[in-house]
Amino acid sequence: MARQNRTTIKFKLAFFSTLLVVFVALSGSYYILRAQKQTLIAEGNTSRIDTVKALRQVAREALLVDDDTGIVNYANLLRKALTISYAMVLNTDGKVRVHTDPLLIGKTLSDPASGQALAARSRETPLLQRLTLDDGREILDYSIPIVLGLTPPEYKGVARIGFDKKAIDLLLSDSLSKMTRQIIGAFVFALIIGLLGAIVLATLIAKPIESLRLGAKTIGEGKLNHRIEVNTHDELKDLADEFNLMAKKLGELDQMKQDFVSNVTHELRSPLTSIRGYLDLLIQGAAGPNTDLQRDYLSIIKNSSVRLARFIDNLLDVAKIEAHKLTLSPSPADLQQLAHEMEVLFKPQMDEKKIRFSNLIPKNIPLIFVDKDKFAEVTINLTSNAIKFTSEEGLVKFLAVEGPNYVEIHIEDTGAGIPKDMIGKLFNKFEQVKSSQGLARKQKGTGLGLAIVKGIVEAHGGRIWVESPAPSGKGSVFKFTVPKLTDELKQKYNLTHPS
Ligand SMILES: Nc1ncnc2c1ncn2[C@@H]1O[C@H](COP(=O)(O)OP(=O)(O)O)[C@@H](O)[C@H]1O
Ligand SMILES: [Mg+2]
3-class state of residue 269 by DSSP: helix
Range of the structural domain that residue 155 is part of: 14-173
The CA distance from 458 to 483, in Å, is 11
339/484 same-domain check: yes
Substitution candidate for ligand 1 out of 414, 428, 439, 450 with most atoms within 8 A of CB: 450
Beta strands in 298-360 (DSSP E): 331-333, 356-359
d(CA 493, CA 331): 9
Nearest to 379 by CA among 409, 352, 405: 409
Distance 432 CA to ligand 1 centre (A): 6
In a domain, 199, yes or no: no
Do 259 and 406 fall within a single domain?
A: no
CATH, residue 445 = 3.30.565.10
pTM: 0.56
Of ligand 1's atoms, which has the minimum distance to the CA of residue 450?
A: 17
- pLDDT for the residue numbered 4: 56
Together in a domain, 315 and 343? no
Under DSSP, the state recorded for 102 is G
Nearest CA to ligand 1 atom 1: 386
Query: For residue 119, what is the DSSP state?
Result: G
Residues 61 and 131 in one domain: yes
- 369 and 267 assigned to the same domain: no
Domain end marker among 275, 299, 322:
322
User: What integer pLDDT is reported at residue 2 of this predicted model?
Assistant: 46
The pLDDT of residue 482? 97
d(CA 247, CA 217): 11
Q: Which of 379, 387, 389 to mutate to test the pocket of ligand 1 (most atoms within 8 A of CB)?
A: 389
Residue 178 lies in a domain: no
What residues have their beta carbon closer than 5 A to ion ligand 2?
385, 449
Kindly give the distance from the C-alpha atom of residue 280 to the centroid of ligand 2, in angstroms, as a whole number. 28
150 in a structural domain: yes
Return the closest-CA partner of residue 418 out of 482, 370, 478.
Answer: 478
Name the phi and psi angles at 103, rounded to 5.
-65, -25
Residue 402 in 3-state DSSP? strand
Q: Please check whether residues 348 and 461 belong to one and the same domain.
A: yes
The alpha carbon of 433 and the centre of ligand 1 are apart by a number of angstroms equal to 7
250, 137: one domain: no
Task: Point out the ligand nearest to the CA of residue 414.
Answer: 1
Boundary residue ending a domain (322, 342, 377): 322
Of 141, 86, 149, give the one whose Cα is nearest residue 118: 141
Atom of ligand 1 nearest to the CA of 416: 4
Residue 432 CA: distances (Å) to CA of 308, 389, 422 = 19, 11, 8
The pLDDT score that the predictor gives to residue 496 is 67
Ligand lying closest to the C-alpha of residue 389: 1
355 and 470: one domain? yes
Residue 197 lies in a domain: no
Query: 350 with 485, same domain?
Result: yes
Alpha-carbon distances of 154 from 57, 180, 203, 341, 378, rounded to whole Å: 15, 49, 78, 134, 123
Same domain assignment for residues 313 and 337 = no
**Tens digits of residue pLDDT in 282-326:** 999 999 999 999 999 999 999 999 989 988 989 888 888 888 888
Same domain for 46 and 124? yes
- State the Cα–Cα distance between residues 136 and 166, nearest whole angstrom: 11
Quick one: which atom of ligand 1 is closest to the CA of 434?
27
- For residue 247, the CA-to-ligand 1 centroid distance in Å is 26
- The answer to whether position 44 is within a domain reads yes
Determine, yes or no, domain membership for 206. Answer: no
Distance separating alpha carbons of residues 381 and 375, to the nearest angstrom? 10
Look at residue 173 and tell me whether its pLDDT is greater than 50.
yes
Last residue of a domain, one of 322, 354, 383: 322
Q: Measure the CA angle with vertex 140, ends 136 and 141; round to 5°.
A: 105
Query: Residue 461: inside a domain, yes or no?
Result: yes
User: Are 483 and 341 contained in the same domain?
Assistant: yes
In 3-state terms, what secondary structure has residue 92? coil
Buried b (16+ CB within 10 A) or exposed e, 349-369: ebeebebebeeebeeebebbb
Ligand nearest to the CA of 451: 1
Average pLDDT, the chain: 90
Beta bridge partners of 140: 130, 163
**Distance of alpha carbon 233 from alpha carbon 226, whole angstroms:** 20
- Counting ligand 1 atoms within 8 A of each CB, the residue from 380, 381, 385, 414 with the most, and so the one to mutate, is 385
Q: Who lines ligand 1 at CB under 6 A?
A: 381, 385-386, 389, 413, 415-416, 418, 426, 431-433, 436, 445-450, 476
Count of structural domains, the chain:
3
User: What are the pLDDT digits (tens) for 35-47?
Assistant: 999 999 999 999 9
Q: Give the angle subtended at the CA of 432 by the CAs of 424 and 466, to the nearest 5°.
A: 40
Higher pLDDT, 435 or 1: 435
Amino acid at 241: D
Give the DSSP letter of residue 234: S
